[in-house]
Every structure is written in C-alpha cells, then in structure tokens.
C-alpha cells in the first residue's frame, strides 16, 4: 500500500468488507476530549473514498477529473454508539450494499480497539460530473463492484 | 446580535423556528465546485449550536464548561436535495422536535436563495460532561425550551 | 450585509481596514478548550476571501469560476499572541499591504473582546486559473484595490 | 506501525528526520482541484503530532490528558512551492530544530512524488495544560528529544 491514511484492505478479492484505518488526533477532538461529531461523517466519507480507490481503482478525485463521473450523496444516516478518541486507530469497514441503475449504497461501521463506535448508511447517485446529470453506472464499474455486493451488516 | 456567523433569529419569542445564516466560501467547496458533503453536517451542527446560544443562552462550549453538561449526538440523518454553493448565504432553520426525559431532538433544513438544499434530523442525549453519564434535562432548560417545541417539518 | 459570517466592514470607502467577524464555536475548539491552532489560518483565509467579496466584488469562488483567475498562496506566517475561544466573536482585520506586478499581500490580525489574538502576513500570486500560469493583476482589480493599500500594521 | 495516517518513520533511532505520510483526498481539495491552502498547515501540524507520538511516546492528546502538558504554537510560517493533490501520498518530514528552555522548534517539509510542495517552520511553548502557564521542558522529554535535534533544512 502506497499511502498511510488509506490503508489495509483485506487481501482476498472475494471478501466483501474493506477496512480503512484512520489516525484520530488532537485536531479531531473537541473540548469533551473526544472526536467532534462533525468529524465522524468525514471519517466515514474518507473510508468510502478509499474504497473507490482500492476496489475500483479510481478515488473520487480520479473519477471526477479523469472520467468526468461524480457520485454526489443523496442521503446519509449515522448512529453513534461510542465516542471516538486518539487512543486507538479507527477502523472503518465499508460494505457495498446496493448497486441500482444510477445509485450506489454503502454501509460503514467504525471500530476502535474492537468496540463498535458508529454505524452509517449512505446513498450516492451517479452523475456526469460537468453537467450534474444523472447517469447509469458504467458497465466496467458495475462489473468490478458487483462481486463485493453484500447485505448490510445487522 | 453580537456576532456574524450566528445570526438572525426571528425576533418573536413565540415563533418555533430559528434561522442561522452561514457564509459558504471557497474553503467549503470541493473540485465539483459545490460545498463538500462532509461540510453539510458541520453546517447543520453549527446551526444547532447557535440555537442553544440564542434560545437557551448557553452554546455547547458554555454548557460544557460553565454547567458541566454535554449533549452528545446519538443519531443524525440527512437528505441532500440540492447542492450548496458560495453564491448565496445558507439559511439553516432549526426546529426543536423532541424533549424527552434525557434526550432532545432537532430538525434542521438548509435553504439557499429560497431553494431547499438539505433536511436533517438529529438526536442528542444529555450527560454530565465530566462523567459521560446520562442525566435528565435540567428543569430550567426544559422550561425555556418547551415553548419552542414543534412538529418536525413535513 | 447579505450574509452572516462575512460581515461588517467599516462603511467608508477611504478607510484602509476591513473587519470580518467570525463566530467561533465548539467545533473549532480542541481539548485545551481553545480554538485549534490549525483553525487559525482558516479564519484568516476566510477573512481574506471576505475582503475580496466586499472590496473587489468577487470572492475566490467567483474570481475562479466567473473570471478564470486564481490567487494561490505563496507564503503565510502567523504569530499567535493569545488563545481564541467561543466566548466572543473573532474580529479579523484585513489590510492590503502590497500590490505587485503579479502578486498581492495582506496582513490579517484577529482580536477578541479588544485583545490581539494573532497577526498574520500573506502573499498570493495571480494565475490564469485553468492553466495555473502566472499573470499580471487585471487593471480593473488594481484600480479598485489601490486606494485600500496601506502600510502593514506595526 | 499500528495505524495508517501516522506512519512510516525511518527505522534508525539515530536519524534526525521523521516522515509522516498523509492520504490527500477529495475532501481536502478546493475548486482549483488542489488541496486547499488552509489544509496545508493542518497537514504539517498532524505530522508534528505524529512526531510526538513516535519519537517521544506521547501524542498531543496523551501529553495533555496524561501528563497535563500543552505545547501551544507561538508562531508558524510556511512557503508553498507546489500544489498538493490526491495523485500521490504526501510525505511530511519533521525535523526537530530547537530545544530551548521552554520552547521547541520544528521544520516540516512536504513532498509528493519526490517534488517539494511546501516548507514550514514552527515554534511551540511548553505550558502546564490546566493552568496555561509556561513551564520548562521536562527532563525526560528533553533527554529523548535531544538526539534528534538537527539544523533546519536549507
């Protein structure tokens, strides 16, 4: 793996889960001495961006710039189970839960030291980036993504 | 009003909605030339923090430091209806939708130039800040907040 | 004033200073209960972006999108004199200190409740946005900006 | 290495430089399709926080919470040489350049794909965290840090 934030996915291609490990630091924490709530969606989104990079071969930047494809979010929801701190790496597991005609769904859960900290669900829509126009998921992306499709975690 | 970001609430005490106006700038935007998705929960949370300041008289900082009270988030959900840009101020309307025994619920919707950009729902839990222990909503806060309670927007 | 974060400049056109008022909140603070150091350059940059909007009539977004002009930073330096907290609005005063052939310089200082919190100096370079190529300051911008030129604050 | 963002330092204890590798993503970029200037100080500060963790054994969070020690910034300066993008990991090299009685100095430079993107210098002051009072650098920290002291890079 070339870089540090976007890290360790499980090696086997047949496995449905992808883990993106994040360093949580002082900068992420608020006066309650835990990661600020507003940072948690950032962490989950970073994990989805890393999923794109490692599973599909294009992160959001490359999708947009090189392929003129955007995947803006239509919806997100998150349940916060336990606070996040700098005491341990944050392991974000990304599940691909839906491949629609023009939309894609993810579930992301975050663990620290084995404890579940948050669970989130996300829906994105494919658009032609420079026209903001809905478009079908390209066949090559669908072909690569499909084997990773899994039921959302309970 | 003393400060700029946390602004204009409607003057009448009997009105249920509170509007917090946010300047969206270059720093908030991603290469798609719209506010980055991860910024939207930040905006909504800033509006809730401003609601506390203007409605109750304590923002989160003051609640925590001066009253040893925290209100960590248990859940959030957001639907993104239209992109947010620096072309107009972002008007975030905060509705108090629930006052439980130990929890409080908000709905926040964001408009730019009259167009609905996002809608969100938020649940927070009261805790004794330095012990992270759930606690009942203090009577004085409940008394001030109750008149502002309203049904969530459709 | 159309919006909230980007606020109060002194009315008179002949005055060299421009004040941008920022709401500092819980989200900006770290476990030391003060605004995180990394936020301070953000605040100063937001003030410079607001200066563009109010003095010149184009914020960075509009400069880039509507005029194909970028002003990337070549250098910044900041001295931190006193911590920043959510207890008072942060008043950022922006001085235009230099108008070169292709570069522009600013000084920004931040006060809370009358106390100096930080001082910063910034140098930006004009570029044709879509080509990242250095370019001379356009004549209309120079003409509007020049009357605001002032010596950097002591 | 336990975590992802805070990564790879060169193995040998006698070497003066420490490299912290950062994943730059879509979230860090602005409409100019490069990392937003305000993010660069964040990156450099994250690298210094990682230096503390790997060199001294306490990151800022642990220094503050476990040892009641803060190291607030007195000054920073940064020169931006080339834009930062998501196309390659950002390698931040941290040099300890000064160990005063109560202050500590760092130089951080950032490279992508072998090209220098920015250089920065930073001065921090030791304080008793809960009293915001200047204090001498503790002897154990000085003893561990001293071998890493080096001249600032040219």
DSSP secondary structure string for all residues of A78-140: EEE-S---TTS-EEEEEEEEEE-SSEEEEEEEEEETTEEEEEEEEEEE-EETTTTEE-PPPHH
Residues of C in contact with A30 (CB under 8 A): 26-27, 29-31
Residue A10: helix, strand or coil by DSSP?
A: coil
Cα distance between residue B71 and residue B126, in whole Å: 5
Inspect the interface and report whether the beta carbons of C31 and D64 lie closer than 8 Å. Answer: yes
> pLDDT value at position A9?
43
Inspect the interface and report whether the beta carbons of A33 and C38 lie closer than 8 Å. Answer: no
DSSP letters spanning D6-21: S----S-TT---EEEE
List, for residues B113-140, the tens digit of each pLDDT value: 999 999 999 999 999 999 989 999 999 9
**What mean pLDDT do residues B37-45 have?**
98
Minimum distance, in Å, between the CA of residue B89 and any CA atom of chain C = 5
Show which subunits contact B, needing at least 3 CB pairs below 8 angstroms: A, C, D
Q: By the 8 A CB rule, do B32 and B80 touch?
A: no
Cα distance between residue A9 and residue A148, in whole Å: 13
Closest residue in D to B39 (Cα) is D27
Phi/psi at A27 (5° precision) = -65, -25
DSSP letters spanning C14-38: T---EEEEE---GGGB-TTSSB-TT
List, for residues A94-141, the tens digit of each pLDDT value: 999 999 999 999 999 999 999 999 999 999 999 999 998 999 999 999
Residues of D in contact with B33 (CB under 8 A): 31
**What mean pLDDT do residues B67-95 have?**
98
Give the residues of chain D that fall short of pLDDT 70. Answer: 1-16, 152-154
For A4, the closest of D21, D59, D85 (CB atoms) is D21
Residues of B in contact with D32 (CB under 8 A): 31
Closest residue in C to B21 (Cα) is C4
> pLDDT value at position C72?
98
**What mean pLDDT do residues C68-84 have?**
98
The residue among C26, D69, D65, C86 whose CA lies nearest residue B69 is C26
Element (H, E) at C92: strand C90-99
Inspect the interface and report whether the beta carbons of C38 and D37 lie closer than 8 Å. Answer: no
Q: By the 8 A CB rule, do D143 and D137 touch?
A: no
**What mean pLDDT do residues C85-90 have?**
98
For D45, the closest of C38, C45, C79 (CB atoms) is C38
b/e string for D79-95 if b means 16 or more Cβ within 10 A?
Answer: bbeebbbbebbbbbbbb
Residues of D in contact with C37 (CB under 8 A): 41, 45, 72-73, 76
Inspect the interface and report whether the beta carbons of D77 and C75 lie closer than 8 Å. Answer: yes
Output the six-digit token pair for A37: 């709530």
| A44, B7, B73 from B98: Cα distances, Å | 27, 23, 14
Q: How does residue C126 score in pLDDT terms, banded at 50, 70 and 90?
A: very high
In the predicted structure, residue A13 carries a pLDDT above the cut 60 = no
Inspect the interface and report whether the beta carbons of B72 and A32 lie closer than 8 Å. Answer: yes
Closest residue in C to D74 (Cα) is C80
Inspect the interface and report whether the beta carbons of B25 and C49 lie closer than 8 Å. Answer: yes
Domains of chain C, each with CATH number or no CATH: 6-148 (3.10.129.10)
| A2, A31, A111, C33, D59 from D131: Cα distances, Å | 42, 15, 34, 12, 20
Residues of B in contact with C61 (CB under 8 A): 25-26, 29, 33, 85-87
Show which subunits contact D, needing at least 3 CB pairs below 8 angstroms: A, B, C
> pLDDT value at position D17?
82
Closest residue in D to B25 (Cα) is D30
Q: What is the ipTM of this complex?
A: 0.90
Pairing of strands B73-80, B115-125: antiparallel
Inspect the interface and report whether the beta carbons of B61 and C29 lie closer than 8 Å. Answer: yes
| D31, D80, D90, D112 from D35: Cα distances, Å | 9, 12, 11, 12
List, for residues B139-154, the tens digit of each pLDDT value: 999 999 999 999 766 6
Cα distance between residue C24 and residue C81, in whole Å: 17
């Amino acid at each position: 793996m070339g870089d540090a934030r976007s890290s360790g996915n499980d090696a086997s291609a047949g496995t449905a889960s992808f883990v993106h490990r994040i360093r949580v630091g002082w900068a992420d924490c608020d006066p309650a001495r835990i990661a600020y709530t507003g940072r948690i969606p950032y962490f989950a989104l970073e994990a989805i961006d890393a999923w794109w990079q490692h599973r599909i071969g294009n992160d959001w930047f490359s999708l947009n710039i090189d392929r003129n494809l955007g995947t803006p979010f239509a919806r997100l929801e998150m349940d916060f189970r336990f606070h996040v701190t700098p005491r341990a790496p944050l392991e974000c597991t990304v599940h691909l839960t839906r491949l629609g005609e023009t939309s894609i769904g993810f579930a992301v859960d975050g663990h620290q030291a084995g404890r579940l900290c948050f669970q989130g669900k996300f829906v994105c829509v494919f658009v032609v980036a420079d026209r903001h126009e809905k478009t079908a998921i390209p066949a090559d992306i669908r072909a690569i993504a499909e084997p990773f499709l899994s039921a959302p975690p309970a």
